[in-house]
Amino acid sequence: PTETTYEVVLDPPEKTFYDDPQLSYSIEKSLKQWDKKRSEWFQLHPSFAAGAHDRILLVTGSQPSPCKNPIGDHLLLRCFKNKVDYCRIHNCEVYYSNLHLHPKMDSYWSKLPIIRSAMIAHPEVEWIWWLDADAIFTDMEFKIPLERYKDHNLVVHGWSNMVYAE
């Protein structure tokens, strides 16, 4: 029999933002100085720093209950497979959630707590890309023009009169 040895990598003894008792995945508490906290985390975890500038986590999800139409869940599964295939081709991570993480935020608002939790749980990614559950990639060669968005912390697609309307 062959022997396998595993190297245990322990977290550094220095404290990170995860050790802060004020840190919350909850949407109610604002997360201040995220860029600074993330930078300090990278200094303690240098193996994640390489390639971080173009690391993408695709986040998607659906409602917790089954679809009313029996074909709906089948179609959601096929849409999810499409996203997984895209992520495999482009070396992205994918995260799927069917939870409502906040009791007052359901429907399209439920994505905000999911995005917040993904941001905190995955400081190694530079980009969190929300894609609705029923969206599919029709061009598997499409690449996000990350260079175009390098100076932005949030990119929202939509019509200006609907996104920025008062």
* Tens-place pLDDT, residues 47-94: 888 888 889 999 998 888 888 988 999 999 999 999 999 999 999 999
Whole-model pTM?
0.81
Quick one: pLDDT at residue 29? 80
Q: Give the pLDDT confidence score for residue 83 in this predicted structure.
A: 97
Mean pLDDT (whole number) for 7-19: 75
Residue 63 confidence (pLDDT): 82
> Across all residues in the chain, what is the average pLDDT?
85
What was the pLDDT predicted at 3?
A: 66
Both tokens of 23, joined, read 């840190």
Q: Name the residue with tokens 């679809």.
A: 67
> Does residue 103 have a pLDDT over 70?
no
Domain 51-151 CATH class label: alpha beta
Share of the chain above pLDDT 90, in %: 37
Query: How many other β-carbons are positioned within 10 Å of the β-carbon of residue 155?
Result: 10
Q: How far are the Cα atoms of 39, 62, 64, 93, 117 from residue 100, in angstroms, in the given order? A: 30, 9, 7, 21, 12
Q: Give residue 99's pLDDT.
A: 77
Mean pLDDT, range 90-109, rounded to an integer: 79
State yes or no: pLDDT of 7 exceeds 80: no
Judge whether residue 1 has pLDDT over 60. Answer: no
pLDDT at 124: 93
124 compared with 25, residue with greater pLDDT: 124
